């Protein structure tokens, strides 16, 4: 990454401002000399927030939160061989029809999530607990029956045709119910869309599961322009929406910790 950035800085300076070439070359080289490091990122964030808030202590606290919320998108991972169960989160879906006759279809992203889950199952054939929009694909396209795949939390459709997909928390709690207990799931291998995986693992962990993604399985990165909800159609919007979800969880946790009695 740092090499690529050096190239950008050097080429932008060289190509664009010949009249100030000396100044720019020096500046660009100065930038190029500063590779990315976690410590430097934290130092720069802390300095900026300290200035903006006039408060170094609060800035330091917020930087801890923001570094995780904004800049950490990779979930913890385990080897497939360690998995005792597979927990699969869907990624919205598609709809057909309208009003009361609206129907939910799995759609192409859940199809590739199902494929990833099946790849994992081939590496380690353990019980799969899958959100319904993925479970239906595993059953229909991969020949896995109800003894191997437990379908949880299908999307619901209101009388007006509004679709509600299950929250991550609901999927986790339903899987725990289906298994009998969190302990019965053992080490849980999480399969989901790549950009959802960090929060999916966090939610599962918060619910008491020992959860991680699996090293050997590449999680899908596809977005469906016809998908629902609308935030699931474009990566930038989805990630922003994930930041909102992460802030919501952090806010709720901090309030509960600080003021358990309200």
Partner 1 sequence: MTFRCDCLGCPIQIGLYINQIEPMKSMKNRRQLLLASSATALATLNAAVLSGCGGSGDASVPLSDVELDNQMAAKLAAQLGNAATAEALLPYIKDMGFTWSLPTIAAAQINTIVAYGFGNRPNAASGNTSSAGGNQAALPDPGPTNEALADAVYRIYQLKPVKIFAQWEIARFLVSKYNMVSPNMISIEPIIAADGTITYLSTDGVAAAVVTQQGSAAALGNVGVVGHRDHAKRCIVTSANRGMKAYAVAEVALPTAYDLQSGQSWTRQRDLYLVHDMYAQFAVKTGSLIAQAYPQG
- Note whether 226 binds partner 1 by CB under 8 A: no
- Tell me the window of 107-115, 124-132, 210-218, 234-242 that interacts with partner 1 (CB under 8 A): 234-242
Three-state DSSP string of 127-160 = CEEEEHHHHHHHHHHHCCCCCCEEEECCCEECCC
Q: Token digits for 234? A: 């474009």
Q: Which of 38, 96, 143, 146 binds partner 1 (CB under 8 A)?
A: 38
- Note whether 14 binds partner 1 by CB under 8 A: no
Torsion sign, CA atoms 151, 153, 159, 160: negative
Q: With CA atoms as reference, report the closest residue to 105 among 142, 133, 132.
A: 133
Chain positions 73 to 102 lying near partner 1, rule: CB under 8 A, are 73-74
- Residue pair 107/94 in contact by the 8 Å Cβ criterion: yes
Torsion (CA) 130, 220, 234, 204 in degrees, nearest 10: 40
User: Least separation, in Å, of the C-beta of 219 and partner 1?
Assistant: 11
Q: With CA atoms as reference, report the closest residue to 117 among 94, 168, 151.
A: 151
The residue (of 35 and 125) whose beta carbon lies closer to partner 1 is: 35
The residue (of 135 and 219) whose beta carbon lies closer to partner 1 is: 219
The residue (of 47 and 183) whose beta carbon lies closer to partner 1 is: 47
Chain positions 49 to 78 lying near partner 1, rule: CB under 8 A, are 49-53, 55-56, 58-62, 65-66, 70-74
- Note whether 148 binds partner 1 by CB under 8 A: no
The residue (of 159 and 258) whose beta carbon lies closer to partner 1 is: 258
Q: Token digits for 238? A: 């989805």
Q: Which of 141, 164, 208, 247 binds partner 1 (CB under 8 A)?
A: 247
């Amino acid at each position: 990454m740092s090499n690529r950035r050096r190239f950008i800085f050097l080429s932008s300076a060289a190509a664009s401002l010949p009249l100030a070439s000396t100044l720019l070359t020096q500046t660009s080289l100065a930038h190029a000399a500063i590779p990315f490091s976690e410590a430097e990122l934290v130092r720069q964030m802390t300095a900026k927030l300290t200035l903006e808030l006039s408060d170094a202590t609060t800035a330091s606290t917020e930087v801890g939160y923001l570094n995780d919320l904004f800049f950490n998108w990779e979930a913890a991972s385990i080897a497939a061989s360690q998995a005792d169960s597979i927990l699969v989160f869907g990624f919205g879906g598609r709809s057909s029809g309208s009003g009361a006759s609206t129907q939910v279809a799995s759609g192409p992203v859940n199809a590739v999530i199902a494929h990833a889950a099946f790849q994992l199952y081939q590496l380690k054939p353990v019980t799969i607990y899958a959100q319904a929009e993925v479970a239906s694909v595993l059953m229909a396209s991969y020949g896995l029956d109800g003894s191997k795949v437990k379908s949880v939390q299908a999307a619901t459709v209101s009388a007006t045709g509004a679709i509600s997909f299950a929250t991550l928390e609901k999927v986790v709690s339903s899987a725990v119910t289906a298994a009998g207990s969190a302990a019965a799931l053992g080490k849980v291998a999480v399969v989901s869309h790549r950009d959802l995986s960090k929060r999916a693992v966090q939610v599962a962990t918060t619910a008491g599961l020992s959860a991680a993604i699996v090293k050997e399985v590449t999680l899908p990165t596809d977005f469906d322009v016809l998908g629902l909800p609308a935030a699931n159609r474009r990566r930038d919007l989805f990630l922003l929406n994930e930041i909102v979800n992460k802030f919501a969880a952090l806010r709720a946790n901090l309030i509960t910790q600080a003021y358990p009695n309200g």
